[in-house]
Structures are given as structure tokens and as C-alpha cells.
Chain A
């Protein structure tokens, strides 16, 4: 028996703000460097896109402004965007409203302004508290600025604060990483995302590594540093709840959990990815051919803006998913969570038990979850289970 688990009605909204002061050499997201003169047209385009979304569903539980660098958007534009969200949707009173910010943009005054606009969670792109690593990563701030940003956000009243870190950066030792982590923990962040440095196709970093100008990240560093991070963060009361995310109890990112739990979300802005059930998809103009639909926007900011201005849709592609694909996605995404997920077939359960015997999965009934060692080879575990 297959239980139909559609993604439900969307209760989350992602807004992509592409503007950045520079292109970090490792980044392959949809961003727009400089071009602040586009801000006004961008804002109008997003507002227009928001107006086209079906709005009679349940109230939004999470809103996430990601980037790019949303903190580069003038407060007036952010206000315009949030106003459009509120005029289109009901928003739950306890909704999680996150904004990503770069340390160099965060001052007490700025942060206070964001808080007044209604943002209640700030995610700061700290990346490292080691100046050498920051330089290697091509970031526009130093360690002191990063610490100051965290302080400023606290002072401005952000009770829910997240920081991003990047590890397995070539040349950075585990000791240096740990020193930086402990400095960061002194500011008591509620949530830390620890991402390994990944070398993405087409990035300047990939070109440099391929040409031998820069060393590639090492597996040994990854393993040693990941284990250190888990230990130190655990002691500090931040528990791993997703492959790359650690939080104090109750401070998990509700928005990101939406992704991993396979629930629906709207998305607006260049390059943004959304996920809707058949009904909402149909109302966004996508003719239903499955139980749910994933869609993605035009990646180039100017192209996106022109499309919207011309009265066309802002997305570039979509894909309808049937139940087997959805089941596979649920499994793949669910395994990323510490809470794990349920396997559905006897073959999968049998394979899960084989992996359990190798110490990679913990199994209770039909629920499987990765052990700490299992997380280090999670993609293979996922492949094993989906191929069972």
C-alpha cells in the first residue's frame, strides 16, 4: 500500500535577493554583482510576482529572504517586499521571518531597522573567524567584522541568530577552525550551519583548482573537522538536526525543515526554486501532470526582471513529479535529518538493516536515521536505499 503524501498547501515562502558586492570564488548561486540601480525594478518585479500567487491557503509559517545578499537591499525596498507579502498572504503571528546578511552590512542601526520591518531571525554569513581563511574564500570582511556583526544583531534585539561557517578550507587546520568556532560560540548563536567547501562546476575556484593554482579540499580535513564541529557544538548545546545544521533545542530553521520534510513552498526571485502541490501548481498556470511540481526561475536578474515587466512568468522550467519520484525525494531528503525518515518497502528495510549492521544507520521499526558515521557517507546510504 502506498500512502499518498502530497506536499500539502504551501506555508512557506522563499524570496531570492540576488545582489552582491562581489562574486565569492566558490559560489554558484544566482547572484547579481553591483547593479544597485536594478534594485528598484527588481523590487517591483518581485512584488508583481507575489501578486500573482494563489493567496487563499493557510497562513505562511516561514518567510526566508535569501541570496545573494538581502542585506544589500535598501530598507525601503525590503519594506516594500514585506508589505507585498503581507498584503497578499496571511502570515502566522509566530511566523519565522529570516533574512540573510553579510557581516559588513550588519550595524546595530541597520539590524534594528530589519527587526522593525518584521524580520525576527538573522542568518549571518560569518563563514570563518580566521582572517587567512576568509581571504582564501575571497570574502569581503574579516574576523573582527564578523564578530562585531553578531554582537550588533544581538544588541538590535535579534533573539534568533544563525551563523554560517565553511570548513574543509585548504590550508586551514582543525585547530584554527576550532579556535574560531569557540570564539563564535562565545556570542551564543542559536543556530550554526556548517557547510563543507564544495568545488562547484564553472566557479573560479574550480578553475583555479583544476589549473593547479590552488589545492583541492581534502577528505581527511573534512572528516577531522566535521567530527570536531559535532563534538564542540554538541558540548555547547547545539545539536545536529540536518547534515549541515546544528541548533539549540527549538531553534532549528523551520524554513529549511520545510525543504527536507518535503512540504510545499512558494518561491519568487531570480533562480529561486519552488515546490507546490497539484492544486497550487495549476493555479500558478502549470498544467497538472503529477502529484506535485518543482519549478525554478530564470537565473539572470535582468532577464528575470524583463520577463516579469513584459507580463510573462518569472520561471524558466518546471517538472511534475509522480508518487514514485516523490517517495524517492522524501527518502533522500528525510535521511538528511537526524530524526531520519521512514522506509516504505521490505527491500529497503532489508538493505537498511545491512547498513545498520555496518553501524551506519539506527533503525526503529520502519524509521531509519543516520548515525554520526553514517552522515559521513550519507549520499551512498541514500543511493543504497533508493536502489533497493
Chain B
């Protein structure tokens, strides 16, 4: 088949907050263009992972090509690039946007624009994308489409008349969306005869075909047999197949400038095809790579330990399998005196961590203990060297270190004004520094704070949600490092230090945090046959102490008759529960204890 002319191609993405109806709208577009028949429609085609459907979020980007005959009688090729929908995946989102010339901004008519949506819109504007605003869910009784259109006008500067009023659920107005894509979004530019430059915006691992690279061809063309190399990575690969998604993979002769599709080139590892990198031709390389590449690097680290130490190897293999498809996931062996052998894993953020953890448990049947997440601190040593420490237990002796720097982030929160007070209080409690407050139309406000990353990776998001009754949303980005008075807080249970419970905290908050942590541990560590002391210490000095009293009674002095079975079954059940705990010295510690720091009430 031949490639359409550039002027008939439209590459676009959909920017929307979770639950604002992105997937439903995408489904309607697929149906209307006949890309997928209504009969084959499983709800929300683009979210292919079970986990994605359950959580209503997109984890991996997807792409689909839709043929569309517009009212002008011409046939167009519409490429929808679906972006991941969470703050952890901000970089992936920016690359998917970079592959487009335009974006649909979908806003729920009953909710308004959320922080993340706004962050993504700004990103799209920076990249020069044309925005088509779509007010969705106009069929809802509580919908206020006019107010939302006004908000879009004031916040983003797109005239309210430009807003398309749509109900993706009923299909009302969806046809106009297709027309607007054709009419308002510019066609791609690019030179098919220039040296090849193709942007990698995602990739996935296929166990039969190796890595499938999702790419937007910017200049040049690609076909089977082309020798390619990655401009930021290394290695040369020969292209086996190129194709498009409609929505299943379909091979084509050639992908040309302006087109979106996939490339298969016997690439074994997703690390060899990093998101944001530029594919070029090995024989005739481009001079400059496409702008914007950066290494997606973990922001949050946690230890993952199998409950059953025999599953260590299984965990290793499972992590390797996940890594095939997840270039941002890092792991290396970690040994904990308390938890045994496991892995120190790096994640893009907390959601990423939860997803990995859940997939390990669900798809690989592993039972895991996850330690409280930590950020990477920069430790400047007396001897002039600098170390990056992502595991609090490994913080060097205070005598050897000069100072410690912690990573900071700019956090943007969009909230109804009535919750501003509570949310500013939250930011202050987390050592935040106020940067900016901007009132927006309606009753909303955009609040900007500078915060230590370590303060937002625990329960900040949950607190944000609960203090705003679910209305506030947030986005964050790393801004740099700052020197702070940080100390290591150690926890001792029955006199033994539990390495997995160590934390790096601000000196001023240390005793308060130590006290709360031992109180919380007292609640989660069950009574044992003897008294158990729980202590928090800084550099050997105990700053807080609680005691779990010994068990006083644990016997049923009752009449069993001859029913031994009932008693035995109970014992077997208890034994199972006991085996899920970690024995440290002579004390049994439940899994919950290792996450105790996450649920501290402030």
C-alpha cells in the first residue's frame, strides 16, 4: 500500500484527567471511523493491561491509525497516540506529545480542569501543539459545560466558542471532533528524502518478536532492511518489519515522514530503544538528534523482599521479565538483616512502584514485603567525594560526612479555593516553601510550592485528596538539590536495629517523627510471649521508646468434646499467618510494620 500525502495525515493525542472520559472518547472515534466495529469493541480498547482497565489509567502509551473520510470528501489518516495518564509518567507523556501536531483537551463538564491536565496542556503548548478543547459528559445532570468552557478560555486562552460539546458516552458531538481534527490540526511537516529521524515514544516487549518500537517518523523513511541505530543509545539493528496499528499490528512497506507506526528490528532489550531517543539510519545518519531526550531515571527507591526466602530467584526472574517492558524500572540485589535477600528497586514515582508491586504479586504470584520508599540523597563526604544514597540504612557514619543534600520538587496543586487553607497547611507541615498562588475562574486556585521530594512520596497525595475531599489534583517536577540538616533515624526492636526501618529525616522533625513511628509500630507489632521494647534512635541516642506488653492470655480453656479438627484447623490457619511475619531476633514483625512510616498521622 502507498503512504498518504503528508497533507492528509493528522497526528494527535488526548490530554485528560483520570475519569474525564479519554478512553470512552477514543472508543467512539475508533467506532465512528470503522477502525473497530462496534461488535469487536471490548470496552476501552486502548487500555490493554487488566491493571489499566481496573484502575482506569493508561500505563503504556498506545497508538492507533484511523482512516477517515471527512466532509470535504477527502480521505485522511488520523493517528491517535494515547498517553500515560499519571504524574509518574510525565516524561513519557511529553515524548508522546512530541510525536503529535495537536491534542484534544478533554475536560469533564462537571469537574473542570485538573492540575495534571493543566501541566500536560502547558507541555503541549511548549511543544507547539494545536489544542482542540472538548467538553465531555455534557449529558450528566450536574454538567456545567458553559462554566467549563469559560474556565478553558481564561486558563488556557482558547476562546470558549472553540470548545466542542460532547458526550462520548452517548456519541453526541463526536463527529464534530473528527472534523475538528482534520480542520484545525496542522498536517505533519517533514522531509522524506532527508536523513532518517524517528522519535521513539514508547516500546513494548513481545516474547516472539523482541522489542516493538512505537515511533513517529519526523524525516526520511523506514522499511524492512534499513540499518538503523539509536542516536543516544548504541548498537546497530536491521529492520525486520515496519507497520501501523489499526488497531492490531499490520505490516506496511514503508513508514514515511509524518507517519506513526511500529518498527521491529530484533532488538532484544527495551533498554536499547529508550523513550525519547532518535532512530536514524546507520549509513546516512542525521546530524542532530530530535530535541528533548533525557534518560528516564528513578525518583523513588524501595526494597522488595520475598516473604518466603525460597522465592528470591523467582522474584529476580519476575523483575527481569517486567524490566523487558519497563525501561524505567531498575533493581539491584539488597541484603537486609531483618528481611533477608531482596532487591533495591528504583521507580519513577509511587504509582509506578505500586504498579510494579501489584504486577509482581498478581502476575507472578509472589508474596512481598515492600519497605518504605526513599529518595536519593547526595552525601558529601569529608574526603571530598560525593555519594548518592537511596537506602537510608546505608547513610555513612555522621563522623565521615560533611553535609547532605536532598532532592526538591516544584509541586503544582489545582484546588477549589475553600481547601486552600488546608492544603497550604499540608505543604507547610512537609517543609514546603510557598512560591505562588493564582486564582482561576470559577472558584479554583493554582497553588505552587517548593517541597522536598522525600516529603511527598509518602502519603502526601492521599492527604491532598482527603483534605480537599478528593477535589484537588497535583503535578510535580524535580527542580534540584538543597543542603539540609538531615539525620538517620534508626528503629530498634527488642534491642536489635531493624535496618529496613531506618529513615532519613530532618533534624528538627526527628524526635517528633521517631515518637510517632514507635507509637505506630506499637500498634502493628502484635503482643509476643515477652515484653518487646521499640526504640527510635539517632546516632545511638534513644529519642523515643514504647513497649509492647507481653501476651497475658492466649488459651481457650473450653470444652472441645472430641472435636479436635476444629482446633487443628485454627492452629493451621494461625501457623500460616505466623509464617507471613518476619522473625527478627526472637520478635515476629508483621509486614505492615515495614510500611508503618507511610501511615503516620502528622
Residues of A participating in the B interface, judged by any CB pair closer than 8 Å: 14, 29, 66, 164, 193-196, 198, 219, 222-223, 226, 243-244, 259, 265, 267, 272-275, 294, 296, 319, 325, 328-329, 332-333, 354-355, 358, 360, 375-384, 386-387
B residues near A360, Cβ cutoff 8 Å: 529
A-B CB proximity, top 8 nearest: A380-B554, A273-B562, A378-B555, A377-B554, A198-B558, A244-B557, A196-B557, A273-B563
Q: How far is the CA of A325 from the CA of B579 in the complex (A)?
A: 17
Q: How far is the CA of A384 from the CA of B587 in the complex (A)?
A: 12
Shortest distance between the CB of A210 and any CB in chain B (Å): 19
CB atoms of B564 and A275 under 8 A apart: yes
Q: Which residues of chain A are near B565, meaning CB under 8 Å?
A: 273, 294, 296, 319
Q: B554–A274 contact, CB under 8 A? A: no
CA distance A223 to B550 in the complex (A): 14
Cβ-defined contact, A275 with B529, below 8 A: no
Give every chain A residue within 8 A of B558 (Cβ-Cβ): 195-196, 198, 244
Residue of A nearest to B558 (CB): A198
Do residues B553 and A219 form an inter-chain contact, with CB atoms below 8 A? yes
Report how many residues on chain B are interfacial, defined by Cβ distance under 8 Å. Answer: 25
Q: Give the contacts of B457-500 with A (CB-CB under 8 A).
A: none
Q: Check B599 for interface membership: any CB of A closer than 8 A.
A: no
B586 within 8 A of A: yes
Q: Which of B529, B530, B561, B574 has the most CB of A within 10 A?
A: B561
In whole angstroms, what is the CA distance A27 to B579 when docked?
A: 33
- Chain B nearest CB, measured from A186 CB (Å): 24
Residues on A with beta carbons closer than 8 Å to the beta carbon of B560: 259
Residues of B within 8 A of A387 (CB): 575, 578-579
How far apart sit A225 and B172, CA to CA, in the bound complex (Å)?
75
A-B contact count (CB 8 A): 94
Q: Do A195 and B557 touch across chains, with their CB atoms under 8 A apart?
A: yes
Does A355 contact B553, Cβ atoms closer than 8 Å?
A: no
Give the Cβ gap from A134 to chain B, nearest Cβ, in Å: 18
**B569–chain A nearest beta-carbon distance, Å:** 9
> B559 on the interface (CB 8 Å rule)?
yes
Within 8 A of A (CB), among B299-316: none
A379–B529 alpha-carbon span in the complex (Å):
11
- Per-residue CB contact flags for chain B residues 522-556 toward chain A (1 = under 8 Å, else 0) read 00000001100000000000000000000111111
Is B556 touching A379 in the complex (CB atoms < 8 A)?
yes
Q: A273-B561, A332-B568, A355-B529 are in contact. Are A383 and B575 (CB under 8 A)?
A: yes
Tell which of A14, A194, A265, A377 touches B529, judged by Cβ atoms closer than 8 Å. A377
Most chain A CB within 10 A, of B555, B557, B571, is at: B557
B557 to chain A: which residues have CB within 8 Å?
194-196, 226, 243-244, 375
Any A CB within 8 A of the CB of B39: no
A66 engages B553 (CB within 8 Å): no
List of A residues within 8 angstroms of B574 by Cβ: 383
Distance in angstroms from B583 CB to nearest chain A CB is: 10
B572 to A: closest C-beta gap in Å? 8
Of the candidates A272, A275, A379, the one whose C-beta lies within 8 Å of that of B555 is A379
**B557, chain A: closest CB distance, angstroms:** 4
Q: How far is the CA of A244 from the CA of B529 in the complex (A)?
A: 21
Closest-by-CB residue of A relative to B583 is: A387
Residues of B within 8 A of A273 (CB): 561-565
Which residues from chain B contact A259 at a C-beta distance below 8 Å? 560-562, 564
Interface pair A265/B562, CB less than 8 Å apart: yes
A333 touches B571 (CB 8 A): no
Q: Nearest-CB distance from A206 to chain B (Å)?
A: 14
Additional pairs, 12, CB under 8 Å, beyond known A329-B568, A376-B554? A194-B557, A196-B556, A219-B553, A223-B553, A273-B563, A296-B563, A296-B565, A355-B529, A360-B529, A377-B555, A379-B555, A380-B551
Of B551, B552, B554, B575, the contact of A386 (CB 8 Å cutoff): B575
Contact A66 B575 (CB under 8 A): no
Contacts of A244 in B (CB 8 A): 557-559
B590–chain A nearest beta-carbon distance, Å: 15
Q: Is B234 an interface residue (CB 8 A)?
A: no
Minimum CB–CB distance from B588 to chain A (whole Å) comes to: 10
CB neighbours (8 Å) of B556 from chain A are 196, 198, 379
Task: Indicate whether A376 sits within 8 Å of B553 (C-beta atoms), given known contacts A259-B564, A360-B529.
Answer: yes
Q: How far does the alpha carbon of A386 sit from the alpha carbon of B556 in the complex, in Å? A: 17
Q: Cβ of B559: which chain A residues have Cβ within 8 Å of it? A: 164, 193, 195, 244
On chain A, the residues within 8 Å of B436 by CB distance are: none
Closest A residue, CB atoms, query B568: A329
A222-B553, A360-B529, A379-B555 are contacts. A294–B564 as well, Cβ < 8 Å? yes
In the assembled complex, the Cα of A329 lies from the Cα of B575 at a distance in Å of: 13
B586 touches A354 (CB 8 A): yes
Bound complex: CA A381 to CA B530 (Å) = 12
**Which residues of chain B come closer than 8 Å to A375, judged between CB atoms?**
555, 557
| CA of A66 to CA of B578, assembled, Å | 36
The residue of chain B having its C-beta at the shortest distance from the C-beta of A318 within the complex is B565
B380 to chain A, nearest CB (A): 46
Which A-chain residue is minimally distant from B565 (CB atoms)?
A: A294
CB distance from A247 to the nearest CB of B (A): 15
A381 / chain B contacts, CB cutoff of 8 Å: 529
